[in-house]
Amino acid sequence: MYSKRFEKEAFKKEVKHNVRTLYRREIDEATPQQIFQAVSYAVKEAIVDDWLATQKTYEKEDPKTVYYMSMEFLMGRALGNNLINMTAYKEVKEALDEMGIDLNAIEDQEPDAALGNGGLGRLAACFLDSLATLGYAAYGCGIRYRYGMFKQKIENGYQVETPDNWLKDGNPFELRRDEYAKEVRFGGTIRVEYDEKTKRNYYIQENYESVLAIPYDMPIVGYGNHVVNTLRIWDAKAITEFKLDSFDRGEYHKAIEQENLAKNIVEVLYPNDNHYAGKELRLKQQYFFVSASLQALIAKYKKKHSDIRKLYEKVTIQMNDTHPTVAVAELMRLLIDQEGLEWDEAWDVTTKTVAYTNHTIMSEALEKWPIDLFSRLLPRVYQIVQEIDRRFVEQIRQMYPGNENKVAKMAILRDGQVKMAHLAIVAGYSVNGVAKLHTEILKHQELRDFYEMMPNKFNNKTNGITQRRFLLHGNQLLADWVTAHIGDGWITDLSEMAKLKPLADDPKARAEFMDIKYKNKERLAAYILEHNGVEVDPRSIFDVQVKRLHEYKRQLLNILHVMYLYNQIKEHPEMPFYPRTFIFGAKASAGYVRAKQIIKLINSVAEVVNNDRSINGKLKIVFIEDYRVSNAEWIFAAADVSEQISTASKEASGTGNMKFMLNGAPTLGTMDGANVEIVEEVGIENAFIFGLSSDEVINYENHGGYNPQEIYFNDWELKRVVDQLMDGTYSHGDHEMFRDLYNSLLNTQGSPRPDMYFILKDFRPYAEAQKRVEEAYRDTDRWARMALLNTASCGKFTSDRTIQEYVDDIWKLDKVTVEPEE
C-alpha cells in the first residue's frame, strides 16, 4: 500500500470527518462539491507526508534544482491525477463506492486549473509530472491567475467567453506561503550614487509603485515514488493596506493605485496562443512573477551557500518561450545591485544559469516590447538590457567587421523595440527547439544568424506527454489491457509499449483493442449527447481535430472538406460512403475575429448537415464546447483519426498528436512538427500523410509563385465549396457572414499574400488522404493493426524521455530518492 492513509476504513473515516469539520454536515447531507473538497483534503494529508519527506531529502542531499519559469501551466484537474500517481486510485474508488459515492462524479466537481492556453502550457504541466516521477528537484514558477482560460459557450454558433472563476469554491490542494512573500517594484526613476569607499555606483529606484508577491504552492506528485515537487504560483497584494490616514498625508491616490496594481496584475490569463498582444499589463505580469521567483530562489540558495558566484552549480532556470526572458536582466540586477557582484561576475553567473526554449516560428508570436514602455515600467532593468546589448553589438562587430547588416538583424535593441528572443539567446547557455524539424528551421531560417555565431548553444528536445494522465487516467480500459499484456512497466517507461507490436498480428488482441475503442466512443457519444444534444453513432469513424483555433492549424481546411463531402453525398446518394463523425474542439482568442468566424462556420455547417435527413446520418459534425484538459482525456481515448493538418513548418511540435497516437488513433497530417517523428516511429504505412513540405512552403514564402486563384478556377468542385461561403448555403441566405473567410482564400487583404496558409493548394491532397482513411477503415483488420501499432510505437513521445534529455544535455540535475516517512 502506498500510504496507510488510503487504508479503506481509515480513508472513509477521514472523508466523513472532513465533511463534518469543513461544513458541519454528515456525509449523506453533503453536496457533491463538498464531498470533492472532503476527499481532496483527505488525499492532501497523504501528499503532505511525502511533500515533507521530499523537502527533507532535498535539504539533506542538496541536489541541483531546475526552476521552470512559465507564464502558463495548464494543469487540468488534480484529484484523479494525484490518486493515480500515488497508486491509490483503485483503493479510493472502492472505499468511496462502499460509501455510495462515485469517484468519477466527484472528480467532475473539480474545476480545471486552466492557467494556460494550449500546448505550451500543457507541456509545462507534463514536464512537472515527469520531473517528479523521475526524481528530480524542480519548481514550476508561474502566476496564480484569479481567472484562468475563459470558459467557452457556443451561442447561436458563435463563441461566447465567460470568466473562469476556478477558485470560487476554494482550491483544496494549494498552500499559501506568506513567509516567502517578496516585493516587486515598477516604474519610478533611477538615481545613481557613487560610493567613494567601494568605488562603485549604486542604483536607487525612487518614486516607484510596488506590490507584494505571495506564493501559493501546489504539490506535484511523482508516480509511485513519494517525490512531491512544487508548482509555486504567485498572487499579488498591495503593500500598503489602504489606510484612512493616507488622506491626510496626501497619499490617497498612491494607496488606491497600489491596490489596483495588485488586483489587476494577477487578475486574468491572456487568452492568446501563438500570438503577442503587446499589452503593458502583460509585461507587468511577466516581470512580477519572474522577479518574485528569482528573489525566492536566491534567498533559498543563500540559506545553504555563501558564494553567489556559484549559483549555477545548484540552480538552473529554464525560460519557457520568451514570456519569462526578462529573467536575464532581472537576475543581473539582483546579482549586481543586491548581491554586490561586478558586471562580469554577474554575467558569468547569469549565462551559466539561464536557458531558453523556443516554441514557435510564427512571427506574430515573437515578443518585442516598445522601448518607451519597457524603460518606463522597468527603468533599472532597461539600463541593464542596454548594457547587454551594447556589449553584444560590440561582439558582433568584432566577429563580422563592417557588416552592419548583422547588427541590424541581431541586436537586442533595435527599431525602438526590445527583442526578447534575442536577449534570451544572447544570455542563454542553451537554446532549444521542440521537435527535430522545428529546431532545423530555427537553425537554418529563423535564427540562422545566431546559429552561425553560437552553434553550440542550439539543440533539439522533441516534446512529449505524460502517459499517466493521458492513458492511465484518461483511458483506464486501454491502460488495463496494456498492463494485462505487457505488465505495468510502461507507466514509467513508455518504450515498453513496443512489446505490444506482435499483438498487431493477433486477431483476438486486435478485436479486444477495437472493442475498447468502441466503448470509449460510446462514452464520448454520451458526453456529446449530454453537452451538445447531438446524437452520434459510435460505429461511425470519429475523426477529431481538437486544439486551439488558429489559421495555421487549418480547421478551415477540415471544414471545407466536410462541405465538399456533403456536396458529394447529396449529388451521388448511391456513392459508397462510410459514416463519419467530424469532431471539433477549439477555443479562439477573444480578439481573433477570423478564428471566431471559423468556429461559426463549423457550427453553421453542422446545423445544415446534421439536420439533413436525406443523407441518412452519414455525416455528423460536432463542435465540443469548452475544450479543455479534462474533456480532452476522454476525447483522445475515443478518436479514430487524429487531424494534424497545419501548414508545414508552422506547428513547432504539437503534442495533441502524441496523445492521439498513445490512444491508438493514426495521424492524418502534414509533415510538420513532431508528425515527422511520429511517422518515423510508426511507419508511413500507419499514417495518412499529405500536402506541401515545409521546404516547399518556405520556398513559396520567400520567392512567391503560389496563386490560389489558379487552383480555384481550375477545380470546379473546390470552387463550388469556396463559393458556398458566399451564396448563403450555410448562412440562411446571408451573403456577408463568411465573406472575410472567402476573401482570405482568394484575395490579398492587408496580408502579404492570399491564402497565407496554402489551404487551396493542399485541398486535393487532403481530400485524397481522407479517401485513403476511408478505405483503410473499411478493412477492419487493417485498421485495427494500424491503430494498435500506433499505441505500440508511441514510446518515444513520453515527456519522461524529453525530461531525461533536458537533464542530460542541459540541466545536469542529480537524481534523488525519497524514503516515505513512517
By CB under 6 A, which span of 32-40, 143-151, 359-367, 750-758 interacts with ligand NBG?
Answer: 359-367
Choice between 214 and 635, CB closer to ligand NBG:
635
What nine digits make up the cell of 374?
Answer: 519597457
Selected binder of ligand NBG within 651, 677, 681, 800 (CB under 6 A): 651
Site string for ligand NBG, 125-164 (x = CB under 6 A): ----------------------------------------
CA nearest 779: which of 497, 391, 514, 427? 514
Selected binder of ligand NBG within 3, 653, 675, 770 (CB under 6 A): 653
Q: Is 659 a residue of the active site?
A: yes
Q: Which residue is nearest to ligand NBG (CB)?
A: 119
Q: Is 703 a residue of the active site?
A: no
Selected binder of ligand NBG within 74, 265, 319, 365 (CB under 6 A): 365
What φ, ψ does residue 27 adopt, rounded to 5°?
Answer: -60, -35
The interface with ligand NBG within residues 253-312 (CB under 6 A) comprises 273-274
Q: Is residue 490 within 8 Å of residue 467, measured between CB atoms?
A: yes
CA nearest 342: which of 376, 293, 318, 308? 308
By CB under 6 A, which span of 117-125, 139-147, 329-337, 421-429 interacts with ligand NBG?
Answer: 117-125
Q: Grid cell 544535455 — which residue? A: 809
Q: Is residue 134 within 8 Å of residue 225, measured between CB atoms?
A: no
Q: What whole-number distance in Å separates Cα of residue 26 and Cα of residue 409? A: 68
Selected binder of ligand NBG within 38, 120, 421, 478 (CB under 6 A): 120
The interface with ligand NBG within residues 412-441 (CB under 6 A) comprises 434
- Least Å distance, CB 362 to ligand NBG, is 7
Choice between 308 and 676, CB closer to ligand NBG:
676
Choice between 51 and 758, CB closer to ligand NBG:
758
Q: Strand ranges (DSSP E) for 533-682?
A: 541-546, 580-585, 619-623, 641-644, 667-669
Choice between 360 and 793, CB closer to ligand NBG:
360
Binding status of residue 676 toward ligand NBG by CB under 6 A? no
Binding status of residue 673 toward ligand NBG by CB under 6 A? yes
Point out the catalytic residue in the list 655, 667, 729, 791: 655
Choice between 317 and 767, CB closer to ligand NBG:
317
Selected binder of ligand NBG within 331, 652, 725, 807 (CB under 6 A): 652
Q: Is residue 332 within 8 Å of residue 353, measured between CB atoms?
A: no
CA nearest 446: which of 365, 559, 534, 328? 365
Enumerate residues 6+ apart whose C-beta is below 8 A from 666. Answer: 641, 642, 682, 686, 687, 688, 776, 786, 787, 790
Choice between 76 and 119, CB closer to ligand NBG:
119
Give the total of residues touching ligand NBG (CB under 6 A): 18
Choice between 599 and 652, CB closer to ligand NBG:
652
Binding status of residue 626 toward ligand NBG by CB under 6 A? no
Q: What whole-number distance in Å separates Cα of residue 128 and Cα of residue 672? A: 26
Point out the catalytic residue in the list 226, 618, 659, 796: 659
Binding status of residue 642 toward ligand NBG by CB under 6 A? no
Enumerate residues 6+ apart whose C-beta is below 8 A from 703. Answer: none
Binding status of residue 324 toward ligand NBG by CB under 6 A? no
Q: Is 548 a residue of the active site?
A: yes
- Least Å distance, CB 433 to ligand NBG, is 9
By CB under 6 A, which span of 96-104, 116-124, 597-605, 802-810 interacts with ligand NBG?
Answer: 116-124
- How are beta strands 315-320 and 354-357 bridged, if at all? parallel
Cα separation values, 417 from 155, 284, 375, 453, 536, Å:
40, 17, 10, 22, 52
- 23's enclosing H/E stretch is helix 8-23
Q: Grid cell 483503410 — which residue? A: 776
Taken in order 734, 740, 741, 743, the sign of the CA dihedral is: positive
Q: Grid cell 485524397 — which residue? A: 768
Q: Is 359 a residue of the active site?
A: yes
Enumerate residues 6+ apart whose C-beta is below 8 A from 248. Answer: none
Q: For residues 482, 487, 491 and 496, what is the CA-based torsion angle, rounded to 10 degrees?
A: -80
Selected binder of ligand NBG within 50, 321, 367, 512 (CB under 6 A): 321
* Local structure of 230: helix, strand or coil: strand
Enzyme catalytic residues: 359, 547-548, 553, 655, 659
Binding site for ligand NBG (CB under 6 A): 118-120, 123, 273-274, 321, 359-360, 365, 434, 463, 651-655, 673
